[in-house]
Structure 1
Amino acid sequence: MLPAKPRRSPGVPTTRPGAAAEHPLAGLFVPSAGPALRWVTRQERELLLVEHPRFQAVFSRQGGQLLHFQPRGQRPWLWCASHWPRVGAIRGGVPVCWPWFGRHPSESGWPSHGWARLSDWQLLGSEVDEQGMHLTWQLQLCDWTVTLEAELGEQMRLRLRTSHQDSEPCRLSHALHAYWQVSDVARVALLGLDGAQGYDLLTRDDCQQHGELRVEEGCHRIFRPGALVQVQDLAWQRRLLVDTRGGANSVVWHPGSRPLTDVRWREALGFVCVEAASCGPDSLSLEPGAEAVLELQARLG
């Protein structure tokens, strides 16, 4: 059974006494007797709180966006900005970049990374068992249908399915733009990309990775093909295995010292983006009735 649509409320506190201040959404949760779905409103966004014996998670109706995921007894896996703009995309979690990645190739006035992260999605259903929960979100846009399937438990798996019923082939690029929470980006190393060919969006030149990748000075690179990337965090003694092989590309991004709107400099030290994507030269051409699938998975190493 789907949870009822939330009623607007004066606000929900972001922290509770004694709560760990590791994630800006952690304070939304209250003790629960078992698996539960609950709608709340925060910063004028409708949020779905997911409570399960194995994990906690938060989705936003805007963007169908997973904002928070935390297996029991672990630190949060995903980073999210504490302040969101009144209008526009929420920075953090796993934004869905769709149906284009980056700037639109011909329409300069259209939003970066497409319409999906700015639109309200419909929750189609949820299934729960002892191992975890499966949720399905969907967005209908003109002749396009995009569905996000989330399988959450001790691991995390997101699957984005796109189909269209236009009479002509359509061009598609998409990404699952994951912000992984880390102790300090300057102390994090990314492994698994050694030898990968790519394109550096900062220098606008081809590149090849040699050894581990460190991003504290800023990085925006698209590697081919998708890879199993290890996010090695020495301070937290944690290694997340981020599997981007469900797309044609692995995208690695961090702004370095460049400021981000509404994000404090110190707050920005707490994430690194490792994304599954099919973009640029690896964008897709969909025939009428065809389907494209993009996957992102993560687990502890």
Structure 2
Amino acid sequence: MKALPPSVSLIEAARDYPVYEIRHAKAEARIAAHGAHVMNWKPASATHEVVYLSPDAILREGKAIRGGIPICWPWFNAHPSDPKLPSHGYARDRFWELREANEDENGVQLVFTLDLPALNAELRIACGETLDLTLTTRNNGPETIALSGALHSYFSVSNIREVVITGLAESDYLDTVGKRTPRHQNGDVRISEEVDRIYHSVSAVTLHDPTWKRAILIEKSGSPSTVIWNPWIEKAAALGDLPDEAYEDFVCIESAIANESAIALEPGQSHGLSTRISLID
């Protein structure tokens, strides 16, 4: 790979833990080589962080970062047939290779890759006034592969009880808190308890935060599912890499391919899963 552009520097956020730090006129961000993980992103127009990172996140090989935008790949949640395999796949806890790094007046573009015996993943990140991620999977093996996964985005909020998520009204979803139960969304989404829902939706959604007077638009493609997650009080307290009260500070809105909607990826075929995050009036 050629030298990094001027607005990108390579730092060690922890021992043997390289992170690419972006300081551009359009945005600031940090992206870990471990997991090709967007840890932070704040466009120049923002007064508050857009992407949430736990202050107790553990930066260590083999441990997924709590917060930011984890890459769940090549499956979502528990493996559909082998519970011994890691939840959400291999991508979150391995080091990816940076293949390209460029900048222009609109921001910075990075390309990371990860190779498995039969699969190749390429993540393209464009970081500016918008944040664009495209995860492309290519099946290099001889057999059809059931592909699922997610761009597991954590968003900073002023107070979880105050925010409203629009764009999912009248959608059907699977409620996975407790017994997995099909439900229907009546009206907009508000959060006042533990939420773990898989919406059957290809629509864009908007996160409205009246206290911070902002709205975040989350657009996507290649994604038949939208996941909304907040651990609430008890589960947040049980997570060692998240402060007990931090459930108030974020909500996850994920562009996903849930296992139930897995894509049959034929030999030689590719599939792209994308999300675009932007602040709107």
Same fold (TM over 0.5): yes
Work out whether residues 229 and 244 of structure 1, in 8 Å CA contact, stay in contact via their aligned partners in 2: no
- Residues 1:159 and 2:134 are matched in the alignment: yes
Question: Deviation per CA, 1:70-123, whole angstroms, max 9, x where unpaired?
Answer: 011412110011123345110111100001100011222211100001110001
Question: Deviation per CA, 1:34-72, whole angstroms, max 9, x where unpaired?
Answer: 942111112332111011111001001110011110011
The residue that corresponds to 2:279 in the other structure is 300
- Residues 1:52 and 2:24 are matched in the alignment: yes
> How far apart in 1 are the matches of 2:219 and 2:192?
22
TM-score, structure 1 normalization: 0.86
Within 5 Å, which residues of 2 pair with 1:135-146? 135-146=110-121
Shift of 1:245: 4.1
Selected match of 1:64 from 33, 36, 41 = 36
Please provide the CA RMSD for this pair: 1.5
Within 5 Å, which residues of 2 pair with 1:94-173? 94-173=69-148
Work out whether residues 66 and 241 of structure 2, in 8 Å CA contact, stay in contact via their aligned partners in 1: no
The percentage of counterpart residues that share the same residue type is: 31
**Secondary structure in structure 1 of the residue aligned to 2:232:** coil
- Residues 1:186 and 2:161 are matched in the alignment: yes
Work out whether residues 173 and 200 of structure 2, in 8 Å CA contact, stay in contact via their aligned partners in 1: yes
Shift of 1:223: 0.8
- Residues 1:266 and 2:245 are matched in the alignment: yes
The residue that corresponds to 1:199 in the other structure is 174
Number of corresponding residues: 272
TM-score, structure 2 normalization: 0.92
The residue that corresponds to 2:206 in the other structure is 230
> How far apart in 2 are the matches of 1:83 and 1:177?
18
**Secondary structure in structure 1 of the residue aligned to 2:260:** helix
The residue that corresponds to 1:82 in the other structure is 55
Work out whether residues 64 and 121 of structure 1, in 8 Å CA contact, stay in contact via their aligned partners in 2: yes
Paired letter, 1:300 = L
Paired letter, 2:197 = R
Unmatched 5+ stretches in structure 1: 5-33
Work out whether residues 110 and 126 of structure 2, in 8 Å CA contact, stay in contact via their aligned partners in 1: yes
- Residues 1:38 and 2:17 are matched in the alignment: no
Q: After TM superposition, what 4+ stretches of structure 1 lie above 4 angstroms from structure 2?
A: none
**Secondary structure in structure 2 of the residue aligned to 1:268:** helix
Q: Which has the higher contact order (CA 8 A, sep 6+)?
A: 2
